[in-house]
Chains A and B, each alone.
Chain A
Amino acid sequence: MQTHLALRTLKGTQKPDKDVHVLFAAQPKRKALLFIHGFSGDAIKTWSDFHELLPGRPQCTCRDIIFYGYDGLRADMHASAAIFRAFLDELFKSTKSFLADNLPPSAQRADDFGYDELVIIAHSLGAVIARRALLDATRMSLDWVVRTKLVLYAPAHKGAKVTELALEVASSFTFLKLFGIVARFESPLIDQLKPESQSLKALLEDTEIATKDGANTHLVARKVVIAEYEKIVQNESFGKDPPPDTIPETTHTSVCKPKRDFLQPLILLEACL
């Protein structure tokens, strides 16, 4: 049975600079999943084959599935977080026009349709962007923020070596990183993602203050998934996040790529739904 409409690129006023792709549920139940990629990633390829596998899974048949895109190679981390927060704000507050612009006529939804739950699934740098966006939304007392949940894959919130990753993810030529070529590559993220960076320290401090005495539970990850052979991010715990689940035989980039014969990334996500 077809559970979702075909994948589409977001149109209309809610569209940020980079492409956002959406799989709309045919029988929606006011819930959505939102995937945000990591350093240099692609909105869909980072997560493949989530986009093919999720629609057929029982817990996901009625959820809209959104793949958010942003410049994860060169854009300033704080700027990306602010753009993401603005997108979430539009998604929750202007749901009607978001749907009207992007659904075909016979799939339009009731005027009062809105999202009661949005699970944000973030990889690598995406975890930092999502955390900062939700923290700022909490500070701004945006009422939708409590309807979000965080699930993180190989989060970079304790630091990352991004130059090593640039070569691995900048193209489909996976062998480039093995040639030891020092690339000329400039990005504010190189400093912003260093383990001792001011941005990451502030992220942790702000999260700890905001979650003190059990407050703002939406800022605590529901699940953290890490790779066994991680060489890019620091796999240390963050604030009140739960201890991580490790997926054996995976790397920084493969930990969030389920396949038909490798469902662990997907099963761990389903446990949070």
Chain B
Amino acid sequence: MNLQLANFEDLLDTYYQGTEAHEAAEHLGDLIRGQQHLQLAALLRDHRKRAIRSQKKIKLRRATDRLMSCCSLMEVASLTGFVPELRQTDFGMKMLPILENKHVRRYYEELYPTKLPQLFRYRLAGASNIIENIDRTDLNRNVLAFLALDRRFMEKLDDGILLRMLDSFTIQGYWFSDVVELISKPEEFINHLLLAPEKRDVRSQALNEFSLFMQFCFDLHQLLAKIESQLLQSAMWNHYSYWFYIIGDELSKRLGEALSQFLKWKPEGGDKDAAKAVQTYVSEASTVLEELTSGRLAEPVDALLKKISG
């Protein structure tokens, strides 16, 4: 079996065919080939300047985000030699003109900046062929662990409501502050947490996702700490840069407020072990969030990008 090829087929199935990414590639490819510049500019505009109201456009922009996420993942996989060189593959040849288009570039470089698709574009254009040359056993183990973690993120969190709330959206009239309020009431918090999925409302669903997201942060932090290559560390972190960098301050502040509610809980009979356990958890969680949102991990990828772009 050609393992690199099997890995590539796997990733293609999960991140391209298995998501709306392939729909975005088809649509953007058609617009680019048809030189529909106005349509491209309108579709990929800054939503903060002119809101997106058309359901079709909202869906296509979401698919475009999936496509960027797919490119980001393919760059991590290429960087580690987990997949073969992708320049001459159908996927690579389809992606290059899309990533090179000026409207698409503006979307992922300026409006919603993300670094890995930029590196991937240079790779597909032949301007970069960097593969981290470190211990293969560790590398494979870490890449597989990263993919397992990312799969969990995709399946449990990416389409959920917590991340949208943390991104300042309201869901059925609820803000993240409503979730924070729930955490301040221990009994209500626990009963919401134990509700059967079909009985959950927005707040209890967000609470469950809050638990999953905190676990994800701990696991990502732990995985990054195991990785010796700073570039690979930075690349894996960059895959989540929207959450930990672009809206990192806001995310850290909101989650910090939520975590601080736990410190107000009064243990039964003043149990010191319970008080200490909650303090330890909140302290560790705060450290993890602080490190993930500090921007420290951005540097190696930034430096590489600067070097390649000359």
Residue of B nearest to A45 (CB): B215
Chain B residue at minimum C-beta to C-beta distance from A171: B211
What's the Cα separation between A26 and B6 when bound, in Å? 9
Q: Is A172 an interface residue (CB 8 A)?
A: yes
The reply to whether the CB of B159 lies closer than 8 angstroms to some CB of chain A is no
A173-B281 contact given A4-B144, A6-B147, A44-B148, CB 8 Å threshold: yes
Q: Count contacts on A: residues with CB < 8 A to the other chain.
A: 38
B226 and chain A: residue at smallest CB distance = A260
By a CB distance below 8 angstroms, the chain B residues around A197 are: none
- When the two chains form their complex, are residues A184 and B186 in contact, meaning their CB atoms are under 8 A apart? no
Which A residues between 4 and 39 are near B, CB-CB below 8 angstroms?
4-9, 19, 26-27
**Complex Cα gap A176–B14 (Å):** 36
Residue pair A170, B281 in contact (C-beta under 8 Å): no
Chain B minimum-CB-distance residue to A178: B274
Alpha-carbon separation in the docked complex, A1 to B81 (Å): 12
| A89 shortest CB reach to chain B, Å | 26
> Shortest distance in angstroms between B83's beta carbon and chain A's nearest beta carbon?
11
A183 at the interface (CB under 8 A from B): yes
Asked if A105 CB lies within 8 Å of chain B CBs, one says yes
Q: Is the CB of B268 within 8 A of A107?
A: no
Contact of B194 among A106, A175, A183 (CB under 8 A): A183
Q: Which residues of A contact B267 (CB under 8 A)?
A: 178-180
- Give the contacting residue for A179; candidates B10, B11, B145, B186; CB below 8 A: B186
By beta carbon, the residue of chain A nearest B280 is A175
Closest chain-A Cβ to B172's Cβ sits at a distance in Å of 22
Within 8 A of A (CB), among B238-286: 262, 265, 267-269, 271, 273-274, 277-278, 280-281
B147 touches A181 (CB 8 A): no
B148, A6: Cβ atoms closer than 8 Å? yes
Give the docked Cα–Cα distance between A48 and B186 (Å): 28
A106-B5 contact, Cβ under 8 Å, with A9-B155, A179-B268, A184-B191: yes
Q: Which residue of B lies closest to A52 (CB)?
A: B145
**Bound Cα distance from A27 to B14, whole angstroms:** 22
Distance in angstroms from B226 CB to nearest chain A CB is 9
Q: How far is the CB of A270 from chain B (nearest CB, A)?
A: 18
A104 and B13 contact, CB distance less than 8 A:
yes
1/0 contact trace for B177-211 toward A, CB 8 Å? 00000000011001101101000000000001001
Kindly count the residue-residue contacts between A and B in the assembled complex, taking CB atoms under 8 Å apart.
113
CB of A56 within 8 Å of the partner chain? yes
Is A178 a contact partner of B277 (Cβ separation < 8 A)?
Answer: yes
- Selected contact of A7 from candidates B13, B144, B278, CB within 8 Å: B144
Q: At the interface, yes or no: A74 with Cβ under 8 Å from chain B?
A: yes
Task: Please tell me if the beta carbons of A181 and B10 are within 8 angstroms of each other in the complex.
Answer: no
Residues from chain A with a CB closer than 8 A to the CB of B274 are: 175, 178-180
Q: B residues within 8 A CB of A141? A: none
- State whether the Cβ of B89 lies closer than 8 Å to any Cβ in chain A: no
Pick from B44-52, B64-72, B135-143 the stretch touching chain A: B135-143
Interface majority SS (helix, strand, loop, mixed), chain A: loop
CB nearest to A3 among chain B residues: B140
Q: Which residues of chain B are within 8 angstroms of A56 by Cβ–Cβ distance?
A: 137, 141
Residues of B near A44 (CB, < 8 A) are 148, 152
CB neighbours of B265 from chain A (8 A):
179
**Closest CB of chain B to A136's CB: distance in Å?**
27
Q: A7 with B148: in contact, given A2-B140, A105-B9 (CB under 8 Å)?
A: yes
Chain A residues, Cβ within 8 Å of B225? none
**What chain B residues lie within 8 Å of A105 (beta carbons)?**
9
Tell whether, in the assembled complex, residue A1 and residue B136 are in contact, meaning their CB atoms are under 8 Å apart.
yes
Given contacts A167-B190, A178-B267, contact A106 B277 (CB under 8 A): no
**Cα distance A6–B151 in the bound complex, in angstroms:** 10
User: With A178-B271, A178-B277, A179-B267 given, is the CB distance from A185 to B147 under 8 Å?
Assistant: no
Closest chain A residue to B6, Cβ basis = A107
In the complex, whether B294 has a CB less than 8 A from a CB of chain A is no
Q: Which residues of chain A are within 8 angstroms of B196 by Cβ–Cβ distance?
A: 74
- Interface presence of B88 (CB below 8 A): no
**CB of A132 within 8 Å of the partner chain:** no
Instruction: Report yes or no: B7 in contact with A5, Cβ–Cβ below 8 A.
Output: yes
Complex CA distance for A74 and B199, rounded to whole angstroms? 13
If A6-B10, A178-B277 touch, whether A27 touches B1 (CB-CB below 8 Å) is yes
In the bound complex, what is the Cα–Cα distance between A56 and B215 (angstroms)? 25
Whether, in the assembled complex, B163 has its beta carbon less than 8 Å from a beta carbon of chain A, the answer is: no
Residues of A close to B3: CB separation below 8 A: 2, 5, 26
Interfacial residues, chain A to chain B (CB-CB below 8 A): 1-2, 4-9, 19, 26-27, 44-45, 51-52, 55-56, 74, 104-107, 166-167, 170-176, 178-181, 183-185
14 contacts between A and B (CB under 8 A): A1-B140, A2-B3, A5-B7, A6-B144, A7-B151, A8-B151, A9-B151, A52-B144, A74-B196, A107-B1, A171-B211, A172-B212, A173-B211, A176-B190
In the complex, the 5 A-B pairs of residues with the closest C-beta atoms, listed nearest first: A104-B9, A178-B274, A180-B268, A172-B215, A175-B277
6 further interface pairs, Cβ-Cβ under 8 Å (given A6-B10, A178-B271, A180-B271):
A2-B3, A2-B140, A45-B215, A179-B268, A184-B191, A184-B194
